[in-house]
Amino acid sequence: MTAPTQELGSGRTEGQRPAVRLDAVSKVYGRGASSLLALDKVSLDAAQGEFVCLLGASGCGKSTLLNLVAGLDRPTTGSIDTGDRKIAMMFQEPALFPWLTVAGNVELALRVQGLDRTARRARAAELLDVVHLGGFAKKRPHELSGGMRQRVSLARALAQEADLLLMDEPFGALDAMTRDLLHDELERIWRERNLAVLFVTHNVREAVRLGDRVVLLSSRPGQVIEDYPVRLPRPRRTESADVAELAGVITERLKEEVRRHGR
């Protein structure tokens, strides 16, 4: 199989304003001789309704990129435009408050919207149904499995009514079966809500399973070196031959980059 040529992904429309656009974004940590260039002139965009997966070796700046888009940090040079869209972020660890119930954790994201208690409870219950946790509202986080805690984290992110969802290896610590089930849930919610998603992962098959595009970053400093459109029909399965074939192409390119960086 030859590497695919670039084209508009399934969520992209010619002339449509991107949900997020990075224009020549660089990020430098520190100053002088001890400074570290984490990202180098990264240009990237994603349309509303598009699912973009970011791949690269450890330390290539994937998480830094998400933090910049989320506004948790500022680029050293370049610009980021999200068009005033609401942004939610999910991390590998659910970061739930252990003293709150499942519903209480989701309601936290609703308080900033000014909803009264009755409205918060109703909305939290609705969101827990969306992630198939309707019967667990009164449970505490320690009573849930890792996959269930990530479902709560997803419900909390959705409570922010975001248009752009940033996900930093959210399923990396889960077993394969749980991860596969959450892939299905995430894909369903993404479609229903027409979200723009930037999804960081180290798992090449996961990227091909979920993404409209797979963007490969170079080893530090991070630069976009490949942009693979995924033309495979949905729904996809991680173990399917067509997913494995494209994942193999991307893996070989990633290995080339890792070897280049190691020399």
pLDDT of residue 3: 41
- Convert the pLDDT of each residue in 126-163 to its tens digit: 999 989 898 899 999 999 999 999 999 999 998 888 89
pLDDT at position 5, please?
36
Q: Can you tell me which residue has the tokens 């419900």? A: 155
**pLDDT value for 163:** 92
| Confidence (pLDDT) at 2 | 41
The DSSP 8-state label assigned to residue 143 in this structure reads: G
- Within 10 Å of residue 119's Cβ, how many Cβ atoms? 13
pLDDT, position 7: 37
CB atoms within 10 A of CB 180: 16
pLDDT tens sequence across 36-62? 999 999 999 999 999 999 998 888 889
> Which stretches of the chain drop beneath a pLDDT of 50?
1-11, 13
pLDDT at 31: 85
pLDDT the model gives residue 12: 53
CA 42 to CA 213: how far, in whole Å?
A: 16
Q: What is the largest CA-CA distance in the chain?
A: 61
- State residue 20's pLDDT score: 96
> Looking at beta carbons, which pairs linking 234-240 to residues 24 or more positions away fall under 8 Å?
234/187, 235/184, 235/187, 236/208, 236/209, 237/209, 238/180, 238/183, 238/205, 238/206, 238/209
Residue ranges and CATH numbers for the domains of the chain are 20-85+163-262 (3.40.50.300), 98-159 (no CATH)
Cα–Cα distance between 22 and 41 in angstroms, integer? 9
Q: What is the DSSP letter of 32?
A: G
Q: Answer whether 156's CB lies under 8 Å from 89's CB.
A: no
